[in-house]
Structures are given as C-alpha cells and as structure tokens.
Amino acid sequence: MTVFFCEGNESKGKNVEKTSTLTKEEKAYFMCAAIGEAKKAQAIAEVPIGAVVVLEGEIIGRGHNLRETTQDATMHAEMIAIREACAKVGSWRLEDSQLFVTLEPCPMCGGAAMLSRVEEIYFGAYDPKGGATGSLLNLATDERFNHWSYVEAGILQAECSDLLRTFFKELRQKKKFASKKTSLPE
C-alpha cells in the first residue's frame, strides 16, 4: 500500500499533508463495493472499473465504466459516481468525501475529484500508462492547485488487478479466435 502526499510549502502558506480518516476494514469494505461496480461493467463487456463515493460512512455515488456502451469518452466509473454523489448532496462540493476506485484515476477523473473537492482518494490497481494520482503524475497532491486530496494506493490491489488482467486476457483470446475464424477458407 502506498500513500502519496505533498509536503507543506510554508513559504506559500500551504500545508497539504493529509491523513486517512478510515480504518483498514472500512477501506476494504468500500473497495469491495467498487469491485462490485467493476463486475457490473464486466458483465456488459466494458472494461471492469468501478467507483463509489462515500460521505460520512454512506455510499452516495456509484459508477462503473460505460464508455463503450454509450460511446462517450467521459463515461468513466469515477465521473458517473461523482455526478451521482453531487446530485445526492445537491452541490458540486463533495467536501469530506472519499472516492474509491478499482483503477488509478486518469487525468480527467483525477481532475473531477479535485474540482469536486473529494477529500480522500483510494485506488486498487496502478495505471502505469494513464494514472494521474501517482503513476504518471499526481494531480491530487500538486500544491499548485487550490485543493489537495489524501491518496492511498493498493487497496485490495490483487483483486482489482486480477479483474482487469482476466478481462483483457479474455478479450485477446476472443480477438485471436475471431481472426482465426475469418482467415479459414470456406
């Protein structure tokens, strides 16, 4: 498990070091809910990524990838969960909330979490090709922005990674089978 945070920059009057407000058991519980959302995506042939937004111990937003289904590039699990959470609280500000997502947020989703004032971000699997909360960059702890989040990686990492690995392995096998089928003489 990796924790990302920014050291305070006293010369600018900033102190962005934050800590988790949740227990290990709470983190696992809410990540399991995000995994449940990811399985919904998998069931409809979407990349299995799921997210939940939590406020005061209650899930107030849920989402799973719908990018292929809707042909909308913004229909990531985090975006859907954040929209639902904002609607539930009646505000764009999700202060004191936590975002749980099975895959490290991309720049769009990390930006949405920052702009909606999510206090804590927890993710399962790293995204070395597109992650914006620790892998390629870290929007959530960049002190140049006016809001920072606590970020913790590796929550139920094996389960989250296995979902993705299995999905892409099956997808490659289907594509391989389809290409063999089309190349057979009649």
Mean pLDDT (the chain) is: 90
Question: What pTM does this model have?
Answer: 0.87
Answer yes or no: is 102 within a domain.
Answer: yes
Whether the per-residue pLDDT at 17 is higher than 80: the answer is no
* Chain CA centroid to CA 13, Å: 30
| Structural domain range at position 137 | 24-170
Answer yes or no: is 108 within a domain.
Answer: yes
Closest by CA to 101, choosing from 77, 120, 136, is: 77
The catalytic position among 78, 104, 119, 120 is 78
Confidence category of residue 159, pLDDT binned at 50, 70, 90 = very high
Instruction: Say how far apart CA 25 and CA 8 lie, in whole Å.
Output: 29
Tell me, what's the pLDDT at 182? 61
Whether the per-residue pLDDT at 186 is higher than 90: the answer is no
Q: For 26-53, what is the mean pLDDT?
A: 98
Contact residues for 171 (Cβ-Cβ < 8 A; gap 6+): none
Tell me, what's the pLDDT at 177? 75
Tokens 């609280």 belong to 89
Please give the DSSP secondary-structure letter assigned to residue 7. Answer: P
Confidence category of residue 101, pLDDT binned at 50, 70, 90 = very high
CA distances from 62 to 1, 137, 180 (A): 24, 25, 39
The CATH number of the domain holding residue 92 is 3.40.140.10
Q: For 126-137, what is the mean pLDDT?
A: 95
Tell me, what's the pLDDT at 15? 44
Helix (H) or strand (E) holding 26: helix 24-43
Instruction: Extract the annotated binding site.
Output: 76, 106, 109
Tell me, what's the pLDDT at 184? 54
Whether the per-residue pLDDT at 176 is higher than 80: the answer is no
Instruction: Say how far apart CA 29 and CA 151 lie, in whole Å.
Output: 17
pLDDT tens sequence across 54-98: 999 999 999 999 999 999 999 999 999 999 999 999 999 999 999
Instruction: Say how far apart CA 173 and CA 179 lie, in whole Å.
Output: 10
Instruction: Extract the annotated binding site for Zn(2+).
Output: 76, 106, 109
CA distances from 13 to 5, 7, 143, 144 (A): 16, 12, 11, 12
Tell me, what's the pLDDT at 87? 98
143 catalytic, yes or no?
no
Answer yes or no: is 59 within a domain.
Answer: yes
Number of domains in the chain: 1
In a 10 Å sphere around its CB, with 0-12 CB exposed, 13-18 middle and 19+ buried, how is residue 35 labelled? buried
The identity of residue 30, as a single letter, is F
